[in-house]
Structure 1
Amino acid sequence: MKKALICGVSGQDGAYLAKLLLNEGYSVCGTSRDAQMSSFQNLVRLGIRDQVKLESAALTDFRSVLQVLKKNQPDEVYNLAGQSSVGLSFEQPVETLESISIGTLNLLEAIRFTGEPIKFYNAGSSECFGDIGTEAADETTPFRPRSPYAVAKSAAFWQVANYREAYGLFACSGILFNHESPLRPQRFVTQKIVAAVSRIAQGSQEKLYLGNVDIKRDWGWAPEYVEAMYKILQQEEPDDYVIATGESYTLEEFVVAAFDSVGLDWQDYVITDRSLFRPTDLAISRGNPAKAKEKLGWQAQYKMPDIVRMMVQAKQDSAQ
């Protein structure tokens, strides 16, 4: 039985990945900063809380990382941990850099230290590309990060590439574009929109306050994106891949689709709030997943309109 270690198992991607790996016959261990105190609500929602072994590990502490590796002896390590909000990274730049960049470095160094043939997956981010105009970003597009989060993810990406080239580690990064699901935390704008639409549909008189609705994003479905993570580590050679749908929509189009799904006109409820604009934000974000399709046989089946419909439906089902 193969063994996988998922760092950041309590998050959206960690929970879906744990479910996928269990279905593939893996023994799964997940880490959290404090496994005793964490609720692991996403694992509970997916009905797999009792099937995942849980360990406490602080990725910013090398000794802690080494201990968890030696204790569990995984075949594959998935690094999905670290501060995950672009907006919050402007308020907590040091914590963001440490949790993402130092955490990734400690995992790579601990794997090298053990000398075991562990395959390593790192959660990269489309935010690393910055503003690329109307072009779709692929694996050769230069990084021009525009947030503390993107700077941290860029550093982690190059650490992975360096350990792969310098030490021969089977270390890969998936450069994932935005991906959503009902497990998205409330602080993400997509979940904020879906939650508000559901409450308004049930009679709430509230207004929905949003920042810049002209931004364009390439939105995918999280359960599909974790399949790509898994496929990346099943390849003969380690490499990096852009994971995206290849289609971009404005945030306004996302809002329209959400209100349309419950038969309401978005313009009656949405108010633009300048205080919600970020210091620097990407105007357009779109990925070119051609390499993933060719090498991994992976292609996104769901696009933004499907994703909005599924998220609103899930929110309404959970409210009943």
Structure 2
Amino acid sequence: MKRALILGVTGQDGSYLADILLEKGYVVYGLVRRSATGNTRNIEHLLDDPELFGKRFFVVRGDLADPTSIYRAIDEAEPDEIYNEADQDHVRWSYDMVGYSSDITGSAVARNLEIIKQVNPKIRYFQPCTSNMFGLAESERQNEETPFNPQSPYACAKVFAYYITRYYRQAFGLFASTAILYNHESPRRTVEYVTRKITKAVARISLGLQKELVLGDMSARIDWGYAREYMELAHRILQHDKADDFVVATGEAHSVEEFVREAFACVGLDPERFVRSDSAHFRPTKTSTLVGDTTKLRTELGVEPKVRFKELVRLMVEADLAEERARRSAQSA
């Protein structure tokens, strides 16, 4: 029975990964930092399952800022695979928390890899990276050979994470793979992210609980995929016969305005009545329209994302409608 350690198990990606690995028969350990202990919503179903919690799913305390806790987590979990889904992954927050973002998103990756090298170099390590590393890209589509040109502290830290992972692979022979993940969304996103902000507002507006939705730049075009599916691909990457780097994307871009229109269409409403743009929500710097080229993923692993834009929007809106209706029912009970 394989064993895995997920750093950042309470987040969107980490929680989906836990579900996937448990379904595949793994023993899963999830690292939870103190500031996340009150936010276990995404793994509540695992914590409440007596057949899983304490038997095949375990929670360990730790923080990427504390190398000793990572060492202890690895020592306790004895993992065959480690997935690092813990970082400061919000671009806008990174402008205000440059030092923290650089350390947790970048330097912590080097610490993780050094601990693996010293404790058990046979552990397979997965490092997620981001399309934001391409930033202002010259090419319309980006692949594994496209030069990086990051435009935020977050993206700069991810570039370091990418190269330090490759370094440990090349210099020390670690099985350390990266995936350059394009935007991936789900009902487990927090409302700080524009997609969830939109779908939650649409659900609330349709139920008469909210009057308007205020957004930033709605012209931005983004390659959006489904987070659970991307985590299935993360697992597939670590099962490959060699460690490598892969772009994971849908290969198609849609604007924020398109997302808004599609979301409101799900509930039969006209967004013109409810949506306005405010420059206060614009980012300090822009990136190019980033669209991933997944040729390598398809040819070497024989896989690619299947959930497309309209299906993604609909599943998020339907999840938020169900959540708001359940909340309203609970309040009226």
Equivalent pairs counted in the alignment come to 320
C-alpha distance in structure 1 between counterparts of 2:37 and 2:165, whole Å: 31
**Pick from 61, 67, 70: which aligns with 1:62?**
67
Aligned to 1:265: 270
- 129-138 or 231-240: bigger deviation: 129-138
Aligned to 1:86: 91
| Distance verdict in 2 for CA 1:45–1:269, change over 3 Å | farther
Judge conservation of contact 2:137–2:148 (CA < 8 Å) in 1: no
Aligned to 2:236: 231
The amino acid of 2:75's aligned partner reads: K
Judge conservation of contact 2:4–2:27 (CA < 8 Å) in 1: yes
Aligned to 1:42: 42
Q: Which runs of 5+ in 2 are unaligned?
A: 326-333
- 124-133 or 41-50: bigger deviation: 41-50
Shift in Å at residue 205 of structure 1? Answer: 5.0
SS of 1:225 mapped into structure 2: helix
C-alpha distance in structure 2 between counterparts of 1:124 and 1:35, whole Å: 23
Shift in Å at residue 38 of structure 1? Answer: 3.7
Shift in Å at residue 268 of structure 1? Answer: 1.1
Shift in Å at residue 115 of structure 1? Answer: 3.5
Shift in Å at residue 134 of structure 1? Answer: 5.8
Moved over 6 A (4+): none
Judge conservation of contact 2:266–2:317 (CA < 8 Å) in 1: yes
The amino acid of 2:31's aligned partner reads: T
Q: What RMSD, in angstroms, separates the aligned Cα atoms of the two structures?
A: 1.6
The amino acid of 1:182's aligned partner reads: P
C-alpha distance in structure 2 between counterparts of 1:146 and 1:140, whole Å: 18
- 190-199 or 39-48: bigger deviation: 39-48
Shift in Å at residue 77 of structure 1? Answer: 0.3
For residues 26-64 of structure 1, what are the alpha-carbon distances to aligned partners after superposition, in whole Å with 9 as ceiling and x for unaligned?
Answer: 000000112993442101157767352000112122222
What is the correspondence of 1:241-280 to structure 2 with a 5 Å cutoff? 241-280=246-285
Aligned to 1:293: 298
Aligned to 2:103: 98
Aligned to 2:6: 6
SS of 1:5 mapped into structure 2: strand
| Superposition TM-score, scaled by structure 1 size | 0.96
C-alpha distance in structure 1 between counterparts of 2:213 and 2:108, whole Å: 36
C-alpha distance in structure 2 between counterparts of 1:45 and 1:53, whole Å: 13
C-alpha distance in structure 2 between counterparts of 1:158 and 1:150, whole Å: 13
Judge conservation of contact 1:59–1:102 (CA < 8 Å) in 2: no
C-alpha distance in structure 2 between counterparts of 1:140 and 1:283, whole Å: 17
- 257-266 or 280-289: bigger deviation: 280-289
For residues 272-299 of structure 1, what are the alpha-carbon distances to aligned partners after superposition, in whole Å with 9 as ceiling and x for unaligned?
Answer: 1011111012241210111111112221
Shift in Å at residue 186 of structure 1? Answer: 1.0
C-alpha distance in structure 1 between counterparts of 2:65 and 2:303, whole Å: 33
What is the correspondence of 1:298-313 to structure 2 with a 5 Å cutoff? 298-313=303-318
C-alpha distance in structure 2 between counterparts of 1:3 and 1:65, whole Å: 16
Aligned to 2:117: 112
For residues 203-224 of structure 1, what are the alpha-carbon distances to aligned partners after superposition, in whole Å with 9 as ceiling and x for unaligned?
Answer: 2452111110011100001111
SS of 1:120 mapped into structure 2: strand
| Distance verdict in 2 for CA 1:35–1:251, change over 3 Å | closer
SS of 1:53 mapped into structure 2: strand
The amino acid of 1:41's aligned partner reads: R
Aligned to 1:20: 20
C-alpha distance in structure 2 between counterparts of 1:52 and 1:185, whole Å: 24
The amino acid of 2:255's aligned partner reads: T
C-alpha distance in structure 2 between counterparts of 1:189 and 1:36, whole Å: 21
The amino acid of 1:245's aligned partner reads: T
SS of 2:242 mapped into structure 1: coil
Judge conservation of contact 1:60–1:106 (CA < 8 Å) in 2: no
